[in-house]
Amino acid sequence: MNEETLAQLAMDFSVLSLIAVGGAITVLPEMHRSVVEVHGWMGSAQFAELFALAQAAPGPNILVVSLIGWKVAGLAGAVVATAAVCGPSCVLTFAVSRIWQRFRGARWRTAVEDGLVPVTVGLMLAGGYLITLSADHSWPAFATTAVTAAVVLTTRIHPLWLFGAAGLIGLAGWV
Amino acid sequence: MPFARRMLVEERRWLSAEEFTDVLSLCQLLPGPNIVNVAVCVGARYHGVRGAVAAFAGLMTAPFFIMLALGALYTEYGDLPAVSAVFRGISAAAAGLVVAMGLKMAASRRLRSAMASFAVLTLIGIALMRLPLVLFLLSVAPLSVMATLWRAK
């Protein structure tokens, strides 16, 4: 694939990096607009498939951009897309985390941190709710989600075992 | 993220549960994938630039190549009914993992009873009303911080 495509990947995903407040899932609609609607690099269905794969695979969800980059422009595309989506936000986080430490114990810093806790908890719960709705389309699927949550809350079993079990349940055709 | 919490808090004990919630709050406030931000923050805390780069590389390298390999396999076999059936099961379990993590954080001591109303507000605003995240954060987060300051008086 040509250099122009790589430049476009780099530019679009750098912008996504800086507006991705709240993480990868929040910029999904914007990513879809860029990749499917603006550039026509792939169809909507393929975009959705790649995202499902990134969800199921190990590692950060944001690696869906590696898959997109790879589909669009091969290995170079994967590297460029991943670097673009991580670079700007990483530099910002590094800078802020140093300043943040300097104000340890400051009253405003404690207030900012304590004040953000409930918002963080709310976002996590909202994420769980939305992901459950998009993943589950039958009552056995909802049951699988509920049992997984209960097992994670009450035991220290490694979640990959639960993924394996759920994969088998899927294979058996129950969800 | 649930895996990260497990590793940092429960296995390696690099952070206490409260510190993890702290770091996560900052990392959710900042743009970018939260888990990558957490890695950069924890790396920077222990070893500055080198720690941040090492944490980033450690977090991303293996999953990056696994992802490409899975992508290649999926392109080849994704249309098979058996493969998509397995995917349905796994995505249901993955959702359960996120739900469990939200509930664990809700049970944390840091979430004081009066402040829980902001958690409920966020849940309603983002999950049910589907408000745009940036606008929501810009309006609700400052209110929550001010409420905390006011309560501390």
| pLDDT tens-digit map of A155-173 | 988 878 998 899 899 899 8
Element (H, E) at B46: helix B34-77
B144 vs A90, A115, A132: nearest CB: A115
User: A60 to chain B: nearest residue by CA?
Assistant: B35
Asked if the Cβ–Cβ distance from B67 to A53 is below 8 Å, we say yes
| pLDDT tens-digit map of A53-108 | 777 777 777 888 998 999 898 889 999 999 999 999 899 888 888 887 777 777 88
What are the structural domain ranges in chain A?
1-102
Percent residues over pLDDT 90 in chain A: 24
List CB contacts (< 8 A) between B102 and chain A: 121, 124-125, 127-128
Q: What is the pLDDT of residue A25?
A: 60
Asked if the Cβ–Cβ distance from A112 to B145 is below 8 Å, we say yes
Asked if the Cβ–Cβ distance from B89 to A82 is below 8 Å, we say no
B33 vs A24, A114, A149: nearest CB: A24
How many residues would you count in chain A? 175
Positive or negative CA dihedral for A175, B4, B5, B6? positive
- ipTM score of the complex? 0.72
What is the rounded average pLDDT of the residues A126-152?
A: 86
Q: What is the pLDDT of residue B87?
A: 78
Asked if the Cβ–Cβ distance from A111 to B63 is below 8 Å, we say no
User: B38 to chain A: nearest residue by CA?
Assistant: A93
More confident residue, A168 or B126: A168
The band of B134, judged by pLDDT with boundaries at 50, 70 and 90, is low
Q: Which residues pair with B31 in a beta bridge?
A: A21
Distance CA A49, CA A46 (A): 5
Distance CA B111, CA A164 (A): 33
Residue from A124, A136, A137 to probe the interface with B (highest B Cβ count within 10 Å): A124
Q: Which of A37-51, A131-145, A161-175, B117-131 has the highest mean pLDDT?
A: A161-175
List CB contacts (< 8 A) between A173 and chain B: 85
Q: How far is CA A59 from CA A86, B66, B75, in A?
A: 14, 9, 19
Asked if the Cβ–Cβ distance from A52 to B99 is below 8 Å, we say no
What is the rounded average pLDDT of the residues B1-11?
A: 78
Q: Where are the alpha helices (DSSP H) in chain A?
A: 3-19, 28-32, 44-56, 64-102, 107-135, 139-154, 159-171
pLDDT exceeds 80 at position B28: no
Reported pTM: 0.70
The band of A121, judged by pLDDT with boundaries at 50, 70 and 90, is confident
pLDDT exceeds 90 at position A146: yes
The band of A45, judged by pLDDT with boundaries at 50, 70 and 90, is low
Residue closest to B75 by CA, chosen among A168, A82, A46, A35: A46
More confident residue, A82 or A48: A82
pLDDT exceeds 90 at position A150: yes
pLDDT exceeds 70 at position B51: yes
What is the three-class DSSP state of A113?
A: helix
Asked if the Cβ–Cβ distance from B68 to A78 is below 8 Å, we say yes
